[in-house]
């Protein structure tokens, strides 16, 4: 269980940092803009984007796996978890369940780059409190 949590933590840290990089002037227009074409996404838009994004953000999944000697079962569960979570967060119709943290990122662009706690920690969260909604899962 600890390995699973550390694996997810490692992925979340990489995703946050890499997502910030994708929003720099250098990478946004060339790479990340394709993911932001949809302002109100559907779960199937989770993987829409430039070809570079998939391998680049997968590093955050592979690095913890390689460093921590994570078992295959834990790795498979973590893979399913991060992908399912990603799809849920891109589904406008499920805001009531998982909140709108990432949905706001799509509509506002310059906030909410990763997990809620990371955005709070680094002060990159949405500052318009009245539009921020947590879902039933507390996300
Ligand atoms: Zn983005
Ligand atoms: Zn997105």
Q: Hey, how many other C-beta atoms are within 10 angstroms of the C-beta on 114? A: 23
* pLDDT tens track for 99-123: 999 999 999 989 999 999 999 999 9
Q: Is the pLDDT of residue 70 over 90?
A: no
Helices (H) and strands (E) in the chain, counts: 7, 0
Going by pLDDT thresholds of 50, 70 and 90, the confidence category of residue 63 is confident
**What confidence tens digit (pLDDT) does each residue in 40-60 have?**
888 999 999 999 998 998 898
Quote the pLDDT of residue 3.
86
Gap from CA of 75 to ligand 2 centroid (Å):
23
pLDDT of residue 68: 86
Alpha-carbon distance values, 123 to 66, 97, 126 (Å): 30, 24, 9
- Is pLDDT above 70 for 38? yes
Shortest-distance ligand to the CA of residue 48: 2
Distance 8 CA to ligand 1 centre (A): 19
């Amino acid at each position: 269980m600890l390995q699973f949590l550390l694996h997810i933590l490692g992925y979340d840290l990489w995703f946050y940092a890499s997502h910030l990089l994708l929003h720099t002037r250098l990478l946004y227009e060339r790479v990340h803009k394709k993911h932001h074409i949809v302002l109100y996404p559907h779960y199937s838009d989770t993987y829409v984007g430039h070809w570079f994004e998939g391998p680049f953000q997968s590093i955050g999944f592979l690095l913890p796996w390689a460093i921590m000697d994570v078992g295959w079962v834990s790795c498979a569960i973590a893979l399913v978890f991060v992908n399912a979570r990603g799809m849920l967060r891109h589904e406008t119709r499920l805001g009531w369940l998982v909140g709108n943290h990432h949905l706001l990122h799509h509509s506002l662009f310059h906030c909410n780059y990763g997990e809620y706690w990371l955005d709070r920690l680094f002060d990159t969260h949405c500052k318009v409190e009245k539009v921020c909604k947590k879902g039933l899962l507390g996300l």
